[in-house]
């Protein structure tokens, strides 16, 4: 994989396909390689030049000492877009990646042709305010970190409850989530630290200033970004639009690839007003 020296770190990325540049921005702990199992091939087939990259803290990108902030990772994204000549690009962020896209759109709208925030645009509820600091504290204390703890956390929070009753579904996801090497402690802690501090921003004031074409894409059973909160966020954005994919939770980006790809493609290629 090529690397770019940008914003003081080495960023590992992939760059493939022809057409308008589209940058996929990962969720917390998500390796860039996972996009090859989901959206990257589908978007390349639709005629996009697709760039994926590993966030700071996720090897082979550099793993600086924590803490990290969303602003740090947005600066990484900006530096990468400029280093490989992508601007203006469509930015598509999932979960933590959506926060990064929001930050880039606020501070460097000239780089953003359109923004898609998947499972990420919402005010943070009581459950997240309990969970995020706990996960950051576990990342600080546990080294090595039990891989099964990550698997159980993702399944319990991100699959609809009915799916957890099906052994084949649980075993499939457990095998998928446990397939790669565990992230280093510094990276895990840094990314969870970023999630904790992100909750303290003045979200509504920021959304009112986010003057880029933005799709807020939600999933019906998402506990991280509940659809009602995501729809309220989109309504505050000057050029925001809301769409929901039914019957899935936060992992809908992996479970409903066709629907997510269709929503992205339809939005970024919609006729000019």
The CATH number of whichever domain residue 235 belongs to comes to 3.40.50.1820
Q: What is the pLDDT of residue 35?
A: 97
Q: Which residues, at least 6 apart from 173, have a Cβ–Cβ distance to it below 8 Å?
A: 151, 154, 155, 159, 251
Q: What is the pLDDT of residue 273?
A: 66
- pTM higher than 0.85 for the full model? yes
The answer to whether position 183 is within a domain reads: no
User: Which member of 193, 213, 222, 224 is catalytic?
Assistant: 222
Domain region containing 55? 3-123+202-268
Q: Tens digits of per-residue pLDDT, 144-203?
A: 888 889 899 999 999 988 999 999 999 999 998 887 778 899 999 999 999 999 999 999
The answer to whether position 153 is within a domain reads: no
The answer to whether position 142 is within a domain reads: no
User: Which member of 34, 62, 95, 225 is catalytic?
Assistant: 95
User: Which member of 90, 124, 221, 250 is catalytic?
Assistant: 250
Annotated active-site residue 193? The verdict is no
The answer to whether position 159 is within a domain reads: no
Annotated active-site residue 250? The verdict is yes
The answer to whether position 37 is within a domain reads: yes
Task: Indicate if the pLDDT at residue 205 is higher than 80.
Answer: yes
Task: Indicate if the pLDDT at residue 113 is higher than 90.
Answer: yes
The answer to whether position 28 is within a domain reads: yes
Annotated active-site residue 222? The verdict is yes
Q: What is the pLDDT of residue 147?
A: 85
Q: What percent of the chain has pLDDT over 90?
A: 91
Task: Indicate if the pLDDT at residue 19 is higher than 80.
Answer: yes
Q: What is the pLDDT of residue 194?
A: 98
The answer to whether position 256 is within a domain reads: yes
Mean pLDDT computed over 98-115? 98
The answer to whether position 93 is within a domain reads: yes
Structural domains of the chain, count: 1
């Amino acid at each position: 994989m090529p690397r770019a020296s940008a914003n003081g770190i080495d960023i590992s990325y992939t760059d493939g396909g022809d057409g308008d540049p589209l940058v996929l921005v990962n969720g917390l702990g998500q390796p860039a390689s996972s996009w090859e199992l989901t959206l990257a091939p589908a978007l390349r087939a639709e005629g996009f030049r697709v760039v994926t990259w590993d966030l700071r803290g996720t090897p082979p990108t550099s793993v600086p000492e924590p803490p990290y902030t969303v602003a740090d990772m947005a600066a990484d994204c900006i530096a990468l877009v400029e280093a490989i000549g992508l601007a203006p690009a469509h930015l598509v962020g999932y979960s933590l990646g959506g926060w990064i896209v929001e930050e880039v759109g606020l501070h460097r709208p000239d780089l953003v042709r359109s923004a898609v925030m998947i499972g990420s645009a919402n005010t943070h509820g009581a459950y997240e305010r309990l969970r995020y600091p706990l996960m950051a504290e576990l990342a600080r204390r546990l080294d090595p970190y039990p891989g099964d703890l990550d698997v159980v956390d993702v399944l319990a929070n991100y699959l609809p409850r009915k799916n957890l009753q099906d052994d084949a579904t649980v075993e499939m996801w457990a095998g998928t989530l446990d397939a790669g090497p565990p992230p280093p402690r510094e990276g895990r802690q840094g990314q969870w630290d970023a999630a904790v501090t992100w909750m303290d921003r003045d979200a509504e004031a920021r959304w009112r200033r986010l003057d880029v074409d933005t799709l807020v894409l939600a999933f019906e059973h998402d506990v991280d970004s509940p659809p009602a909160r995501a729809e309220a966020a989109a309504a505050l954005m000057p050029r925001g639009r809301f769409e929901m994919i039914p019957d899935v939770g936060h992992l809908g980006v992996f479970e409903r690839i066709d629907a997510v790809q269709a929503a992205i493609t339809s939005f970024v290629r919609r006729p000019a007003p």
